[in-house]
Chains A and B, each alone.
Chain A
């Protein structure tokens, strides 16, 4: 076997890992869409906001310090303590739950029964709001995020596979962070599935996802469910924020990762949790393999962004509801 073949496999594996990272973002979309029919554009900004908050807690930053300094002429920046990662994560989670509660109370409650595009638009407004708010609260500089996840190529794997493809092959390269992300995503999906299958709240969630009115009529509080769903989406956003933020530092561009998640959603279907994972894998592998086999040799590279969408588009032409989406039955 030639080295190139093994490199192909390496690209394939890395594509899968990248796909899992996309799925992490897509999962949040799916949860909210399933439970409330809202296409939550703010998911990416939620990831940014969660990561910002996490770093802020870790470093003991004073929220709104820039604003306070500008208004009162003070010069404050930090509380002066350094919080352990796990504690900071817990605090951040609380903030995300509070956020979910506020969103439900001040936005969603007033928009029940509106058309999907209006709800979509409202989440865009929310995204704008949070972008500005996050910057005001924590500042716009790049922050280093470190919660103790190892980064860098896995040396063991590299050394033990180097013999495979001859002298031109340096062994498989897989990033430790990506592997951690895969484990996290796996755990997340399993626990979400268990949660929705075996707990009372989970059953209520599914009931709401099936039919709002029927769920209401058997006494499920729609509003409570929404708060729960947005909290879980906030948690997923936090996980995505940690994984992506560890790579690039926490900064504004983190909110753009959702553009990577949209083709995953299309492909997997807006309503399916396994779909988000499988869709992520297909998109990740598809775009990386296309870049490796066709993009770089023939098209000059940087094809990943549009190819992901084209791939999803192609799938949709044959299955308009996505891979795992519920079949759309239309009645006149």
Chain B
């Protein structure tokens, strides 16, 4: 029982010392340890660095300093709950849970607490229906968009007709990996391709069976919904079995430098989806270097700058900052609350002029959010890996997805959720 008291004392002290600040608090539920650390680190660094830049260069958002509160989740749902509870009292404006599992948990909790959640490219896809999920946002694109964009890319490569072609989906056998299946099935009805599903169990170190099957059946395309070590092994095995890499397309979580580097030159030509641009060739990076890196304020080890996931963290931070600015405009106060932040997110408009002004021209798609649509337009691009130059580059524009099919699925799934939780759809 002594321990309990000690813990009590420590926690009480923490809470007591907790700041009564006027800062705008942005919790970062990141993971720098555990099996997915390699993916969590660059995202968290990007997220933190962008806010550091905003504070150093612009003096905060609308004159109020932004404060990033990091909390290590280790990709573990229970730690995620602990992080949520420990940060929400600080006036947290928006949560980026960075894990599908934690997102699912936070959906009811954050809705009850009135704090918005932004799950960018993960989480519950049907949260795109803002009439049911009032506090949950998943712009600019979700998994179902991703599935459709991948199929669109295949369509483009095959000249618009993929009847009779075969597509295999290699997926992480979990909630996350199963997300695209229904969309792909619907799309296969529409376009007439044959879909093969290949589940890989966590953690995915041993995928011989799956890749031997792919080698036997020779599908025309392989899609991958992988995560963690599964990505590296799959790309390695694909290279080993001589599957044509440019017919192998991963989701945006299977397309970082970490995933392709272990396979070396053989990963050349591998494709992945993305919802934002890659590389460090932006005016913003000059500012980052001047205000953050050279000032010695880079987050983490400071060696992730310019990687795909670093850019994604930065992109997420940019969207959060822009939403906060929008909220400040709407409510005419610099010191916004989570409820105001929600309004800001719902009224968010990102266009080319805005991105250019921020030093990130053509960094992401132009889009706007509305109450009916928390998911944005569902635009995405395809990037390809160049093993010799060791860098990703976008090979397509931010293209649309088949909203006709996806919209119906979203309506169906969100209606089920609304029925289960007694939510009346509506916009106010």
Which A residues lie at the B interface, using CB under 8 A?
7, 10-11, 14, 17-18, 66, 69, 73, 75, 77, 135, 139-142, 144-146, 151-153, 170, 173, 175, 244, 247-249, 251-254, 256-257, 260, 288, 291-292, 295-296, 300-302, 304-305
Chief secondary structure at chain A's binding surface: helix
1/0 per residue, CB under 8 A from A, across B240-252: the answer is 1110000000000
Residues of B contacting A296 in the complex (Cβ-Cβ under 8 angstroms): 209, 213
Interface centre among B34, B201, B233, B262 (most CB of A within 10 A): B262
Q: Is the CB of B233 within 8 A of A247?
A: yes
**A256 / chain B contacts, CB cutoff of 8 Å:** 35, 203, 205
Q: List 21 A-B contacts (CB under 8 A).
A: A7-B212, A7-B216, A17-B208, A75-B302, A144-B262, A145-B262, A175-B208, A248-B229, A249-B232, A249-B261, A249-B262, A251-B232, A252-B38, A253-B35, A253-B228, A254-B229, A291-B209, A292-B209, A301-B197, A301-B198, A301-B210
- A152-B242, A173-B212, A257-B205 known; 14 new pairs, CB 8 Å cut-off, are A10-B212, A77-B301, A135-B37, A140-B32, A144-B262, A152-B240, A249-B232, A251-B35, A251-B229, A251-B232, A252-B37, A260-B205, A292-B213, A302-B173
Let me know if B239 is at the binding interface, CB within 8 A.
yes
B218's nearest neighbour on chain A, judged by CB, is A170
Q: Which of B37, B38, B206 counts the most chain A CB atoms within 10 A?
A: B206
- B262, closest chain A residue (CB): A249
Report how far A73 CA is from B216 CA in the complex, Å.
54
User: Chain B nearest CB: distance from A303 CB in Å?
Assistant: 8
A295 to B208, CA, bound (A): 14
Known: A75-B302, A247-B233. A288 touches B208 (CB 8 A): yes
* List of B residues within 8 angstroms of A77 by Cβ: 301, 303
Among B37, B199, B208, B216, point to the contact of A302 (Cβ < 8 A). B199
Closest A-chain residue to B39, C-beta based?
Answer: A142
CB contacts (< 8 Å) of B203 on chain A: these are 253, 256
In the complex, the answer to whether A260 meets B216 with C-beta atoms within 8 Å is no
Give CA–CA (A139, B300) in the complex, Å: 11
B236 at interface, CB cutoff 8 A? yes
Nearest chain B residue, comparing its CB with the CB of A259:
B203
Binary contact readout B189-230 vs A (1 if CB under 8 angstroms, 0 otherwise)? 000000001111101011011101101100000000000110
Residue B77 CB within 8 A of the other chain: no
Q: Which one of A69, A142, A173 lies within 8 Å of B232 (CB-CB)?
A: A142
User: In the complex, how many angstroms separate the beta carbon of A332 from the nearest chain B beta carbon?
Assistant: 41
Complex contacts, A249 vs chain B, CB 8 Å? 229, 232, 258, 261-262
Task: Give every chain A residue within 8 A of B208 (Cβ-Cβ).
Answer: 14, 17-18, 175, 288
Please name all residues of chain A whose beta carbon is closer than 8 Å to the beta carbon of B296 when the two chains form the complex: 73
Within 8 A of A (CB), among B323-382: none
Asked if residues B38 and A151 are in contact (CB atoms below 8 Å), the reply is no
**Min distance, Cβ B243 to any Cβ of chain A, angstroms:** 11
Please, which residue of chain A has its CB at the minimum distance from the CB of B172?
A302
Q: Are B206 and A141 in contact (CB under 8 A)?
A: no
How many angstroms between the C-alpha atoms of A288 and B34 in the bound complex?
28
Interchain CB contact under 8 A, B262 and A142 = yes
Is B157 engaged at the interface, CB distance under 8 Å to the other chain? no
The reply to whether B205 and A175 contact each other, CB–CB distance below 8 Å, is no
CA distance A77 to B258 in the complex (A): 18
With beta carbons under 8 angstroms apart, the residue of B41, B209, B266 that contacts A140 is: B41
Contact A304–B229 (Cβ < 8 Å): no
Q: Indicate whether B63 reaches chain A with its CB closer than 8 angstroms.
A: no
**Which B residues touch A288, using CB under 8 A?**
208-209
Bound-state CA distance A301–B208 (Å) is 13
CA distance A66 to B300 in the complex (A): 8
Minimum Cβ distance to chain B for residue A124 (Å): 17
Contacts A14-B212, A304-B206 given: A140-B38 contact, CB under 8 Å? yes
Candidate in A10, A66, A141, A146 with the most chain B CB atoms within 10 angstroms:
A141
